[in-house]
A = this chain, B = another copy of it.
């Protein structure tokens, strides 16, 4: 799944339960949540979303989302990387969970920074192992799409759209490099 955190503000120390305050710790240059009692510094850092561009007989595997946000829209199988796994394992796991598909991962394909939501999206190229797939709990349906039939008007997220655009272009030459780019908030001043 790709979802967004609630963005609730930290008020209490998760270690000792006392209030936190925002201040710049010694030797640091940024405001952090710091416990007024046990002095634990609670860092907040970006999250990784990992997924696959999975191909079978020249067609691309997409899932139609059964959850918000973007219920009913099509996505590449992808979701938050978990602790104790690699990015590649995360990408394969998400493909298994959302598309009920076992894949052979072939290489990193895209890394897209999305700084306004504190995420980095990674997509690996993959092939279905045996052609089998289905709809996982978070998918209404899963389908293979010929490049000329991608449902562009119903794509869930900008990073999925960007990765599909790059991939379709590379399919013509069968030269798949690693694409590193970013997607900024449409209202960001520097874009």
Contacts and interface: CB of A to CB of B under 8 A. Distances in A.
Interface of A: 5-6, 8-17, 19-20, 27, 30, 33, 40, 42-48, 80-89, 107-108, 111, 113, 115-116, 118, 120, 137-138, 177-178, 180, 182
Given A15-B10, A17-B17, A46 B81 contact: yes
A116 B86 contact: no
Q: How many copies does the complex hold?
A: 2
A113 B87 contact: yes
Top 6 nearest A-B pairs (CB, nearest first) are A86-B113, A12-B17, A178-B178, A83-B118, A10-B14, A14-B14
A8 B48 contact: no
Contact of A43 (B80, B86, B138): B80
Given A83-B44, A88-B113, A13 B12 contact: yes
Given A11-B16, A88-B113, 15 more contacts: A10-B14, A10-B15, A11-B15, A27-B137, A44-B83, A46-B82, A46-B83, A48-B120, A83-B115, A84-B115, A85-B115, A86-B182, A87-B113, A108-B178, A178-B178
